[in-house]
Amino acid sequence: MIALLCSVPVEYELLRSALPGLRSLVLGSKPVFLGSLGGRDVALCAGGLGKANAAHAATLLLSRFNPAALIVFGIGGAYPSSGARIGDIALATEEIAGDDGVLTPEGFRDTEHIGIPLVRTGQVTLHNRFPASEMPLAGFYDSL
């Protein structure tokens, strides 16, 4: 099973219309569509806008299906001025939580500036920047 997650239905409509034997269910408040793609079972979900909705939908998909992979897709900020076109693939090297921090009289300050990490586990302390997985993508795609 591969879980496919986007924010809004317009991002998955073309894919959803191409899934044979489509079934649907609701996880939490999120509609999920089940089908197959390239001989693999898939679960397709539009989790809603924002990181809280994305985290909620990802948790629901991972808990229910224990997928081999969770692929997050969508426009990813591909606004006309970005230079990205429909169908382009962008792979992130890091995620940046640009909305976590505080507003001070001197302006916005991120969590590193105020000394409050968003993640602290063992030797790792992360503030507003999260490095992407170093999983070898070629091997991952071959396994699909």
pLDDT digits (tens, 9 = 90+) for 68-85: 999 999 877 666 777 777
Question: Does 46 reside within a domain?
Answer: yes
Residue 135 C-alpha from the chain's centroid: 16
Question: Does 141 reside within a domain?
Answer: no
pLDDT at position 79 is: 67
123 and 60 in a single domain? The answer is no
Q: How far is residue 58 from each of residues 5, 63, 87, 88, measured CA to CA in Å?
A: 7, 8, 23, 23
How many structural domains comprise the chain? 2
49 and 112 in a single domain? The answer is no
- How many angstroms separate the CA atoms of 18 and 88, rounded? 19
pLDDT at position 112 is: 95
Q: What is the value of pTM for the model shown?
A: 0.76
77 and 114 in a single domain? The answer is no
Check pLDDT > 70 for residue 134: no
pLDDT at position 91 is: 76
Using an 8 Å Cβ cutoff, are 117 and 126 in contact?
Answer: yes
3-state secondary structure of 68: coil
Place 60 in a pLDDT band, splitting at 50, 70 and 90: very high
Question: Does 138 reside within a domain?
Answer: no
**DSSP assignment letter at 143:** H
